[in-house]
Amino acid sequence: MSDRELSIINGVILDETVTFSFEEMCYACGIEAEELIAMVEEGLLEPHGTTPRAWRFPAASLHRALTACRLQRDLHINLAGAALALELLEELRELRARLRER
Amino acid sequence: MEFKDYYKIMGVSRDASAEEIKRAYRKLARKYHPDVSKEPDAEARFKEINEAYEVLKDPEKRAAYDQLGTRWKAGEDFRPPPDWNVGGFDFGGFEGGPTHFSDFFEALFGGASPFGTRRSPRQGFRMRGENEYARLQISLEEAYRGATRTITLQIPEPDAQGRLVTRTRTLQVRIPAGVTQGQQIRLAGQGAPGIGGGPAGDLFLEIELLAHPLFRLEGRDVYLDLPVTPWEAALGATVSVPTLGGTVDMKIPAGSQSGQKLRLRGRGLPGRSPGDQYVVLQIMTPPAHNEAAKDLYRRMAREMPFNPRSKLGV
């Protein structure tokens, strides 16, 4: 046990080269299939591919999906509200970055 | 341990109604939610607010807490009264994931780690452990070079009787060079242990880059404001520029203007397609604090008349 604790663990960056299948995405987010489908139907996630079986989610989807889950759970808002909050947060981040760029 | 004034944390009076407490909680939760808030201590505040609400929203826990009376002040060294009956509180209504409350909370209400939403293991049942998620704040330099960080996690684990208990786990994690804001690092098999011999879950670390005094980041590109003199901008010059990888020499072309962006290719965050560093020129005006300097400015005005406002039609 202590060996496990002391050794250095290498992490894998989930960058733009990594994509997730439907099952992998459910597992990575710790959510049920219906919840993931609802997120895609809401337009919150935009996987490549037409059917759930063919869906490929870019790794950046993970951040969006996890944030949406946390917002729903912690702020008692529904999926549409979480999607709106996410979009506004991203817009805010872009505007702030642009503001600092000048 | 420190006494926590839950009323103060929630910003309500001791006789606040349940509705008032709920309203205060919702408002504070929106303000300090780590995904939304810009406050530097959002995560800690959010936890504190949730802990306070967990007590104040529940009439039983609130009454027990109120029994402590007004003798205690926030931050005071606290020990529960000898006749205090720890435990017996219902944690079934817990919302959210594995939140971990303070020692103060656990001393009062028992170490019932909030696993209300976790699926309970069944006999002869084999299940993969749950994933764990954590946020990791790192500096821009660490993102550029990569780093090894020691992180402490509260991991729920079944004890000998099969009950879930919280164990503190310390991990040394190597952060690869080139991570950017919001990116996830996956540590396979470092999440919660599996049940009935199932494999452990994964640990996902979400990267949060700390603000840097000089550089700002956009994707993998790094931006720097570079002060230059009017003559460097007008005549061109080679100047030293800080980058995340160390100081480099950069040529400023003659006739540069304030706000102009110069690119140092490949000097941003590393990665499959490495970022660039953009240097934004800022022409500084030399102070005219003696007669000789003033004369120089007057001569410039005479000998090189220039209207920077011509585009404004004035």
Strand residues in chain B grouped as ranges (E): 132-138, 147-158, 164-175, 184-187, 203-209, 215-218, 221-228, 237-243, 246-252, 261-264, 277-283
What three-state secondary structure class fits B152? strand
Report the C-alpha gap between B195 and B97 in whole angstroms: 18
Which pLDDT value is given to residue B113?
A: 44
Stronger pLDDT, B239 or B208, i.e. the higher one: B239
Which pLDDT value is given to residue A9?
A: 86
What three-state secondary structure class fits A57? strand
Q: Please tell me which of the candidates A8, A97, A101 has its beta carbon nearest to residue B174.
A: A8
C-alpha distance from A30 to closest chain B C-alpha (Å): 7
Check CB contact under 8 Å for A60 and B202: no
Q: What are phi and psi of B250, to 5 degrees?
A: -130, 140
The token pair at B151 is: 């992180």
Which pLDDT value is given to residue B139?
A: 94
The token pair at B46 is: 């959010």
ipTM for the whole complex: 0.83
Q: Rounded mean pLDDT of B170-181?
A: 90
B127-170 pLDDT, tens digit per residue, is 888 888 888 999 999 999 999 999 888 776 667 776 667 778 88
Residues of B in contact with A13 (CB under 8 A): 176, 178-179, 183-185
Residues of A in contact with B147 (CB under 8 A): none
Stated as kind and residue range, the H or E segment containing B48 is helix B42-56
Which pLDDT value is given to residue B182?
A: 86
Q: Please tell me which of the candidates B95, B131, B185 has its beta carbon nearest to residue A12.
A: B185
**Share of residues in chain B with pLDDT > 70 (%):** 86
pLDDT category of residue B286 using cuts at 50, 70 and 90: very high
Q: Which CATH class is domain B132-209?
A: mainly beta
Which pLDDT value is given to residue B114?
A: 43
**Contacts A–B by Cβ distance under 8 A:** 98
Which pLDDT value is given to residue B169?
A: 83
Mark which residues 15-74 of B lie under 8 Å from A by CB.
Answer: 26, 29-30, 33-36, 46
Q: At what angle do helices A22-29 and A60-75 cross, to 10 degrees?
A: 40
Looking at the domain that runs over B6-109, which CATH code has it been given?
1.10.287.110
The superfamily in CATH containing domain B215-303 is Urease metallochaperone UreE, N-terminal domain (2.60.260.20)
Mark which residues 15-74 of A lie under 8 Å from B by CB.
Answer: 15-17, 27-28, 30, 59-60, 62-63, 66-67, 70-71, 73-74
Partners of B132 in the beta sheet?
B203
Q: Is the pLDDT of residue B38 over 90?
A: no
Which residue of B lies nearest to A28 if distances are taken between CA atoms?
B131
Check CB contact under 8 Å for A8 and B218: no
Which residue of A lies nearest to B220 if distances are taken between CA atoms?
A15
Which of A63, A90, A99 is the best substitution to test chain B (most B C-beta atoms within 10 A)? Answer: A63
Report the C-alpha gap between B61 and B133 in whole angstroms: 29
CATH 1.10.287.110 in chain B is located at 6-109
Strand residues in A46-99 grouped as ranges (E): 57-58
B76-106 pLDDT, tens digit per residue, is 777 777 666 655 555 543 333 445 677 788 7
CB B275 within 8 Å of CB B289: no
Which residue of A lies nearest to B31 if distances are taken between CA atoms?
A75
Q: What count of Cα atoms within 13 Å lies in the side-chain half-sphere of residue B97?
A: 18
Q: Would you call B69 exposed, middle or buried from its count of C-beta atoms within 10 A (0-12, 13-18, 19+)?
A: exposed
Rounded-to-5 percentages of helix, strand, coil across chain B: 25, 25, 50
Partners of B248 in the beta sheet?
B241
What separation in angstroms does the CA of A34 have from each of A37, A45, A68, A84, B95? Answer: 5, 13, 15, 20, 20
Check CB contact under 8 Å for A8 and B178: no
Name the amino acid, one letter, at B188: A
CATH 2.60.260.20 in chain B is located at 132-209, 215-303
Sheet arrangement for strand B164-175: A8-10, B164-175, B147-158
Residues of B in contact with A59 (CB under 8 A): 183-184
Partners of B242 in the beta sheet?
B247
Q: Rounded mean pLDDT of B277-291?
A: 96
User: Is residue B79 less than 8 Å (CB to CB) from chain A?
Assistant: no
Q: Is the pLDDT of residue B121 over 70?
A: no
